[in-house]
Amino acid sequence: MIICRALLAVGIVVSTIPYAGAQFGGMPGMPGSGMPGAGFGGPPQGPPPKCAALLAIRDELQKHGQAISAANDKKADVKVACGLFRKYIATEAKMIKMLEVDGPSCGAGPQVVQQVRGSHAQAQKIGKQVCDAAARGPAPSGPTLSDALGTTPALPDTRDRKGAGTFETLTGNPFQQR
């Protein structure tokens, strides 16, 4: 049940990524940024390297989020989900650091940093639940039919009997017949 809730929350985390990316509207060198000297007749300019790095980390974060979503759709193993969450959380932490340093000069306001921090805290919480579930191992199965009926299953007699062997047929062991 924890895993189902965790994977549902992953969908929520993944769905917030585009909102954080949409906050990069005033990035220098991008259309509509109002950068001086970038008139209609000028050649299009790309974003500065530090802003391009922010866009690259955002795209990487989206890929990790999509990988988690795909793993959820496939009902992947909890250990796989734990590894995917660790990558996602590490990438998100790197993005937060980059946003704090370069975000204002790239047009990302303080609300973007706060939003990504909130998403990061939620992802850490879910990641911890998933990794804890992976550490516990598979969930114990329910009671067996024997448990429900209050009986014990009959085990075969393992004592050595003359003529009994691995290849015994109805007439005895064919390797002992001559």
Distance, in Å, from the CA atom of 15 to the CA atom of 4, rounded to the nearest integer, reads: 17
Residue 106 counted as domain residue = yes
Cβ atoms of 70 and 52 within 8 Å: the answer is no
Residue 162 counted as domain residue = no
pLDDT for residue 109: 85
Residue 127 counted as domain residue = yes
Residue 71 counted as domain residue = yes
pLDDT for residue 177: 57
Distance, in Å, from the CA atom of 135 to the CA atom of 44, rounded to the nearest integer, reads: 51
Mean per-residue pLDDT, 52-74:
91
Mean per-residue pLDDT, 155-175:
59
pLDDT for residue 142: 73
Mean per-residue pLDDT, 139-145:
71
pLDDT for residue 64: 93
Residue 114 counted as domain residue = yes
| Whole-number Cα distances in Å, 129 to 67, 85, 153 | 18, 10, 37
User: Can you spell out the DSSP letters for 28-97?
Assistant: TTSTTS--TT--SSSPP-PPPHHHHHHHHHHHHHHHHHHHHHHHHHTT--HHHHHHHHHHHHHHHHHHHH
Of all residues in the chain, the percent with pLDDT exceeding 70 is 59
Mean per-residue pLDDT, 119-124:
92
Distance, in Å, from the CA atom of 120 to the CA atom of 126, rounded to the nearest integer, reads: 10
Residue 77 counted as domain residue = yes
Residue 166 counted as domain residue = no
pLDDT for residue 56: 92
Among 35-44, 71-80, 87-96, 126-135, the minimum mean pLDDT is found in: 35-44
pLDDT for residue 164: 55
Query: In the chain, how many domains are there?
Result: 1
pLDDT for residue 37: 46
pLDDT for residue 57: 92
Residue 8 counted as domain residue = yes
- Domain carrying residue 76: 2-23+51-136
SS3 169: strand
For residue range 89-99, what is the model confidence (pLDDT) as tens digits? 999 999 999 99
pLDDT for residue 145: 73
